[in-house]
Amino acid sequence: MDFESKVSDLAKGIKSSIIRELLKYASEPGFISFGGGVPDPETFPRKELAEIAREVVEKEYRFALQYGTTEGDPLLKAQYIKYLERWEGLKDLKEKNLLITVGSQQALDLIGRTFLDSESIIAISQPAYLGAVSAFKMRNPRFLTIPLSDDGMETEILEKKLRSLTAAELKKFKFVYTVPNFHNPAGVTLTLERRKHLLELAERYDFFVVEDDPYGALRFEGEHIPSVFKLGGMDRVVLLNTFSKVLSPGLRIGLVIAHESVISKLVKVKQGVDLCSPSLTQRIAARYMERYDMLERLRKTLAIYREKKDVMMKAFEEHLSDLDAHWTRPKGGLFSWVVLPEGFDTLEMLELGKEYKILWIPGAAFHVDGSGQNTMRVSFCLPSKEEIEEGVRRIRKVVEAYKSSKVISR
């Protein structure tokens, strides 16, 4: 059977993720990887989760081993509503304002299916989170790309681009997708002023904001900035959260927090996708939240991330500052973003990276238009401090080797 001839146009258009391809090398001996944006498995509270998992299966099997509702476990929702009140100061949230998804990746997919047609227009940052772009691309919308600065998405440029749309195009403009805290891949945070500006634009041009916030709780420096959702309310903002970076990505639990009219639409779409999110992991997470303070327990991990970030910043100063390169200095999250001088191609450089046993994610992967050749995403959360120092030293060696192979005169 020639299955190839039966494949849909949609599936034909999907390229395999470069990140997945690259991470295969990361486990080879001697390799240092700045590639993966995943938490350190040693930070997972495995003893506590194991104990709870056993109890949940034994005592709550009627719920936990059964199909659940598409909306999600009411117990988990109740716990999460308390958490959002404490952490984000969000009041008056009800069960009907929450949908539990299979990671926030599913939430992105459901949002694409629910709101986008091939004529639709949305705005995303450049660079942007690859998973969101892949999810939205399934619906084939037109992307407006908005550059990022150290203050997050440049809402002034968003305003200019919106102003240049015709009335007919504005009608098709659905939402702005933003990762406001410790952006993946760029590591930058949207300032309070820009959050407010974004909401002003949302009012003026009548669109909504998809606020994807997996990293907000991972702040290791500076003051918490109110979420766009807190500032703009559920009439303008759909907030996405996840347990992936604060507890464990293996649970595959994400949440949509939104107006009930949005939630009920997403629920209908989700029914056709997977009926419901896993009852078992939802109940484990609910019991975990009941017993433990998730954020309190994260403190130790955050102190480690901050130290590692400092080591990386110092190593960049030492090894890259004479290069006319620059990089972001994150106050939380897992990533920094390095911009090398024009002429460098971080994808091409990966061949040398493999030789020197150092890995990063080429920045072009995060650009919908394929630009950003001279950029790279580097994560500091998994390698040890020694590996971070050595890894940056290796990046410098790769830069030198690439320069001589390309005769980049800088």
Applying CB under 6 A, the residues found at the interface with ligand PLP are: 37, 103-105, 129, 131, 179, 184, 212, 214, 242, 244, 249, 254
320 contact partners, CB below 8 Å, separation of at least 6: 327, 338, 392, 395, 396, 399
Minimum distance, C-beta of residue 129 to ligand PLP, in the bound complex (Å): 4
- Between residues 337 and 344, which has the closer beta carbon with respect to ligand PLP? 337
Residue number closest to ligand PLP, CB atom: 103
Decide if 176 contacts 318 (C-beta within 8 A): no
Nearer to ligand PLP, 240 or 399 (CB): 240
d(Cα 291, Cα 48) in Å, to the nearest integer?
Answer: 10
CB of 336 to ligand PLP, least distance (A): 14
Residues 92, 97, 102, 107, CA torsion sign:
negative
Give the single-character DSSP code of 340: P
Nearer to ligand PLP, 133 or 364 (CB): 133
Cβ count near 9 (within 10 Å)? 6
Q: Which residue number, 70 or 184, has a Cβ lying nearer to ligand PLP? A: 184
The CB-of-251 to ligand PLP minimum distance in angstroms stands at 9
Q: Which residue number, 80 or 129, has a Cβ lying nearer to ligand PLP?
A: 129
How many whole angstroms separate alpha carbon 305 and alpha carbon 69?
37
We find the least distance from the C-beta atom of residue 237 to ligand PLP, in angstroms, to be 16
Q: How far apart are CA 339 and CA 400, in angstroms?
A: 16
CB-wise, 127 or 254, nearer to ligand PLP? 254
The smaller minimum CB distance to ligand PLP, of residues 216 and 383, is found at 216
Residue reference for tokens 């350190």: 40
Q: How far apart are the C-alpha atoms of 256 and 218, rounded to whole Å?
A: 19
Q: How far is the CB of 341 from ligand PLP (least distance, A)?
A: 27
CB of 183 to ligand PLP, least distance (A): 8
**Least distance from C-beta 244 to ligand PLP, angstroms?**
3
Using the minimum distance from each CB to ligand PLP, give the nearer residue, 108 or 263.
Answer: 108
Length of the chain: 410
3-state secondary structure of 173: strand
Closer residue to ligand PLP, CB minimum distance, 104 or 346: 104
- CB 382, CB 31: distance < 8 Å: no
Q: How far is the CB of 263 from ligand PLP (least distance, A)?
A: 17
State the DSSP string of 208-270. EEEEE-SSGGGB-SS-----HHHHH-TTTEEEEEESTTTT-GGG--EEEE--HHHHHHHHHHH
Residue 23 C-beta: closest distance to ligand PLP, Å:
13
Hey, what's the torsion of the CAs at 87, 89, 93, 98, to 10 degrees?
-30
**185 close to 102: Cβ distance less than 8 angstroms:** no
* Cα–chain center distance at 126: 14
